[in-house]
Amino acid sequence: MDDCPICAKHRGEGPLAGGPEIWRDDLVTVTHKPAGQLPLLGHLFIEPLRHAPHIEDLTDVEAAAVGSAARRAAIALRAEVDPELIHSAVIGRGVAHFHQHVFPRYRGTPDEIPWFETDGWAEAPRGGEPEIAALAERLRRYFTAV
Ligand SMILES: [Zn+2]
């Protein structure tokens, strides 16, 4: 879809582009949040390549691919950043192109910080472009080997 920022991102264009791609197959892509937002290291997005606005718009095959990619993302994050937990959420209030967040809750995150504010913790590990690129390279291995 021409005016969708996530479709534009998949073409390497627009305001959401810039986070490294970790995996792409015929159906889905897995990317890291762009460095410009100084994100939590390991904040990943799972998105169908086809423009599907919400979860109910996915085909069964796309939904299975999303689920599999989210699982692999969690396995990769577990192995590479050793978080306390891995959160995953579909919120659907922002851009109307399905995207599933998968992100670590780092060890030491205070209990009073709710799951949806883990990236607001001042001591949470964040990354600029080099740190994100290095982590993406490490995470990529979990998507190519079965
Ligand atoms: Zn789209």
Write the pLDDT tens digit of every residue in 62-86. Answer: 999 999 999 999 999 999 999 999 9
7 Cα: distance to centroid of ligand 1 (angstroms): 4
pLDDT reading at 90 higher than 90: yes
How far apart, in whole angstroms, are the C-alpha atoms of residue 106 and residue 99? 22
Q: Is 3 helix (H, G, I), strand (E, B) or coil?
A: coil
CA of 88 to the centre of ligand 1 (A): 20
Question: Model-level pTM?
Answer: 0.94
Report CA Rg, the chain.
15
Domain of residue 78 covers 5-144
CA 134 from centroid of its chain's CA atoms? 15
122 neighbors 141 (Cβ within 8 angstroms): no
Neighbours of 79 (CB within 10 A): 12
What pLDDT does residue 92 have? 85
Percent of the chain with pLDDT over 90: 86
CA of 12 to the centre of ligand 1 (A): 13
Number of domains in the chain: 1
CATH number at residue 17: 3.30.428.10
* DSSP β-bridge partners for residue 24: 29
